[in-house]
Amino acid sequence: MEKTVTIIGAGLAGCEAALTLANLGIKVTLIEAKPRQMSPAHHSDDFAEVVCSNSFKSNDPCTAGGLIKQELRILGSELIGFADSVRVPAGGALAVDRQKFSQLVTHSIKSNPNITVINKTVESVDLDKPTIIATGPLTHITFSEFLNEMFGKKMYFYDAAAPIVSKESVDFEHAFTASRYGKGEDDYVNCPLSRDEYYNFVTELLGAERASLHEFEKGEIFEGCMPVEVMASRGVDTLRFGPLKPVGIVDPKTNKRPFAVVQLRKENQSGSMLNVVGFQTNLKFMEQKRVFGLIPALKNAEFLKCGVMHKNMYIDAPNTINKHFVLKNHPNCFIAGQLSGVEGYVESIGSGLVAALNAYRTLQGKEYIELPECTMLGALASYLERPNQDFQPMNANFGLLPPLGEHVRDKALRKQALSDRAIEHMKILKSNLFSK
């Protein structure tokens, strides 16, 4: 009898899972609602759409984001490979041309003979059949109601995306290209603000009209995607110690560090589109143009895409799944992506890969893979199953990793040692992965 797995959702996790299983010879039915039904945050018909930002964070393996990417490269992640192939300059970060990335993934999915794509909205699922649920944080309301009924608890938070402007509309009389501390090849467009310009901007930002303020006052906002106006409300200087920090940047016109600086990062490989870094927002569209236009370099900016805010759904992972991403009461059903409680693009890709490998091993009658907890991917997976009454989605971070056997006082050396240990153990896992 032919072995098949159904995957619901063609986002980052679902596509990684589909390609992983297909490449292992498993027949996959990939069910995706787009283009028949689009969520408020999605705009393209392509799969693996990158919604909030085009940055996959740092590529340095001595950072949490860089380490988990390196671990996924070792495991042969298809989507990280695609991201590497369509990267755009972003200093030490891995940022991608969103359109080309999604097009590559979509073509790979649709041209794979082991993958059958069905475009429809799923309302329920047979949990006893081999299935990976990767519908993402923007799960359709009908299926989310099914999940809520199944898990007995509604879980969600609010997320935001930053606006995108055209490069040709940026006033370079008030901007310059450079990377922080000279890392990279002048990959960022920097828009400096004087002291008066900064405080005027913050004042107008705090007084600007928001799209739906009353819902977000509940405190259900994910810290990693904090709207810029909410961040500003925490203190008048919060932004210039956050996304507008000028540290490591020198304005060539003054040879001095600006009081504050807004950075723009390439959104596509040609550089014609620029992402306003750290400016996730819930301001009304006209207010975004008015307030962000107070930044001198963006006075006449053309907003190709305004920032948006939306509700994201996730499960109560500690009471629902284990570190193998499998439902505790249904060993053939896996949850992957941000729905599982991981937060971030790369983390979602990693969860899809792990869920797929474990689904494959289940079909082979083998035990689940045991990710070493000293790896970033393993530590993140273990976090999901650890008892936690106040569970919140989690990004990769060094705080998840178990300590080293010996104390290393120097922070940089400690991270290097943690990274080296993780990579060594991941290489050992990879070499043994299909031998047992």
**Cα–Cα dist 303/50, whole Å:** 18
Residues 340 and 278 in one domain: no
Pick from 385, 395, 367: nearest CA to 318 = 385
CATH classification at residue 386: 3.50.50.60
Residues 88 and 135 in one domain: yes
Residues 372 and 329 in one domain: yes
| The last residue of a domain, from among 277, 311, 345 | 311
Please give the pLDDT value at position 214.
Answer: 41
Coil/strand/helix, residue 322: coil
Coil/strand/helix, residue 276: strand
Please give the pLDDT value at position 42.
Answer: 61
| The last residue of a domain, from among 252, 287, 311 | 311
Residues 323 and 412 in one domain: yes
Residues 176 and 53 in one domain: no
Q: Which residues of 167-192 are buried (b: 16+ CB within 10 A; e: fewer)?
A: beebeeebbbebbbeeeeeebbbbbb
Q: CA angle at residue 101 from 243 to 315, to 5 degrees?
A: 70
Please give the pLDDT value at position 223.
Answer: 59
Residue 293's Cβ-count burial label (10 Å; 0-12, 13-18, 19+) is middle
Bridge partners of residue 265, in order along the sequence: 188, 275
User: Based on the structure, what is the number of domains in the chain?
Assistant: 2
CATH classification at residue 190: 2.40.30.260
**Which residues have a Cβ under 8 Å from the Cβ of 255 and sit 6 or more positions away?**
none
Which pLDDT tens digits describe the chain residue by residue (436 residues)? 468 999 999 999 999 999 999 999 999 999 998 877 666 556 678 999 987 788 899 999 999 999 999 999 999 999 999 999 999 988 888 999 999 999 999 999 999 999 999 999 888 889 889 999 999 877 777 787 888 777 766 666 667 778 889 898 999 999 999 988 777 677 899 999 999 999 999 999 999 998 764 444 344 555 567 889 999 999 999 999 999 999 999 999 999 999 999 999 987 777 888 989 999 898 998 999 999 999 999 999 988 888 877 677 888 899 999 999 999 989 999 999 999 989 889 999 999 999 999 999 999 999 999 999 999 999 999 999 988 876 878 889 888 898 898 888 898 999 999 999 999 999 999 998 866 5
| The last residue of a domain, from among 251, 279, 311 | 311
Residues 54 and 112 in one domain: yes
Residues 425 and 389 in one domain: yes
Residues 37 and 144 in one domain: yes
Residues 258 and 372 in one domain: no
Per the structure, the complete domain to which residue 198 belongs is given by 164-311
Please give the pLDDT value at position 215.
Answer: 46
Residues 147 and 198 in one domain: no
Residue 417 Rama label (left phi>0; alpha psi -120 to 50; beta): alpha
Q: Which residue do the tokens 């047992």 mark?
A: 436
Please give the pLDDT value at position 433.
Answer: 83
Please give the pLDDT value at position 217.
Answer: 39
Residues 394 and 251 in one domain: no
Please give the pLDDT value at position 41.
Answer: 57
CB 259 within 8 A of CB 266: no
Please give the pLDDT value at position 235.
Answer: 95
Q: What's the distance, CA 378 to chain centroid?
A: 18
Residues 49 and 173 in one domain: no
Please give the pLDDT value at position 348.
Answer: 97
